[in-house]
Amino acid sequence: MSSTSPRLFGTSGIRGHTSRVNTDISLNLGRSLGTMLEGPGVVGVGTDARTSGPVLLNSFRAGLLSTGVDVVSLGICPMPAVAFYSTLPGVLASVIITASHNPPTDNGFKFFREGREFIRTEEAAIETAVARHEYRSQKWLSVGTVAVCDIRMTYLRNAERFLVTRGRTASGMDVLVDSANGAASDYTPHLLRNLGFRPVTINAHPDGHFPGRLPEPSPQNLQQTMTLAAETKMPLTVCHDGDGDRVAVIDEEGRFVDQNRVIALFARDEVERQNGGTVVASIDTSSVIDDVIRPLGGVVVRVPLGSLQEFLVLRNGTAVAFASEPWKPIFAAYGYWMDGVVGAARVAQMVDEDGSGSTVRLFSSIPEYPVLREQIPCPDHLKPDFMRLVRGSLISQVTLIDQINDSDGIRIDRSDGSYVLVRVSGTEPKARVYIGARTRDTLDRLAQTARSVMDKALEEAMHQHSSKPSP
């Protein structure tokens, strides 16, 4: 790999097909991490349930050991547990080998230090070492050692200590848990049971083939779970992805609760508890969060996808009450990592207490605005031209523009509370559009405009690229 190689890290760690995220890059990532770390201590490494996990684990671990760093294998465990492990005394960093919600053919890496994801400068240090092949190496007497740790009970006890400050012990309310055959399968049910709930599980054995459903907890992938929730009248259903940083909510009528409303619910609770504060949300979230938080004296700040950690680490004294990307809650009073396991338990507490056992009743106080999320294929080499063309066309065609945010793609907020965001994926060859409005008619009109703009921009980008002379 040359020093001119493209970035390894996307918006959420390193992720890709296992033909690219292979043992070679895994070994070099281990060497790079071991080279950049200083001082005595250990690095914890866990995996999700993907079939490629053990292979990548062994090569990554070998790279770390070669630099003299001691490794603690955490086994199959959710991302929040790996992040939590990095807060323990004597731990230099922790790493999970996962592709999160991506299909089973993919895998990747996510790095943590002191309870938060690596920020861009730390990612760049790893990329530089890999590109230059500059690794520390130890002689046989000084290579690292390997130990094993079952982090589950320590993580669960820590999560429970936080949650008992937020809600009472339940009295047996049923909660349907769909773990996607992922790494949270043995975590969320135990946490709920410890808090007094009666978890009923599906897709609850870790299996990297994801036989129950694809790991992304989207409405499209949760159709069978939604049907089961409706048929059984479960008071609450919570659903995870492959590594447990995400949580989706389904009500007792089998309806998927939009992620923006879930964010608004969590954020409102934390802002009320702290008598104000800042809510940090990713750029793809809707105005329902603003409409719920601002009357309470809270402030909503939007940042590019993958930049929550940068804001939290470099916030310069800003009092953060809550932070989130869709599906991925960060309870700042608990920790700076995304935690779908704690999110699942917290929404269960709120359904039990504030909703009197009804998810529908709990969310009745959160406005339900229509939203739309779509994607189109967009090869990586076309992304810069595509976004340039989209930006110009959207600004000229969208009316009632209130403000423009181009920190991640282009988001146009309109004076009627609606918005349209177009951005390219940082982990996949895709472009995505996110649209929100207070009425369906407004949403449909914006969607028609955005689709036309994106289709024409992709066609023009392809034409421009094909017209360029070959080097």
Asked whether 50 and 208 are in contact (CB, 8 A), the reply is yes
- In 3D space, the residue among 163, 231, 215 whose CA is nearest the CA of residue 192 turns out to be 163
Query: What are the structure tokens assigned to 373, written together?
Result: 């999320």
- In 3D space, the residue among 248, 276, 245, 272 whose CA is nearest the CA of residue 260 turns out to be 248
Asked whether 42 and 147 are in contact (CB, 8 A), the reply is yes
DSSP lists the bridge partners of residue 17 as 106
Burial pattern 148-160, b for ≥16 Cβ within 10 A else e, equals ebebbeebbebbe
Count Cα neighbours of 32 within 13 Å in the Cβ-side half-sphere.
Answer: 22
Asked whether 183 and 77 are in contact (CB, 8 A), the reply is yes
DSSP lists the bridge partners of residue 10 as 13
- In 3D space, the residue among 274, 271, 336, 278 whose CA is nearest the CA of residue 308 turns out to be 336
Asked whether 159 and 342 are in contact (CB, 8 A), the reply is yes
Asked whether 334 and 326 are in contact (CB, 8 A), the reply is no
Query: What are the structure tokens assigned to 60, written together?
Result: 């990554």
Which residue has 């919570």 as its token pair? 238
Q: Hey, what's the torsion of the CAs at 372, 377, 378, 379, to 10 degrees?
A: 150
Catalytic residues: 100
Length of the chain: 471
Residue type, 346: R
Alpha helix segments (H runs only) across 150-281: 152-163, 188-194, 223-232, 259-273
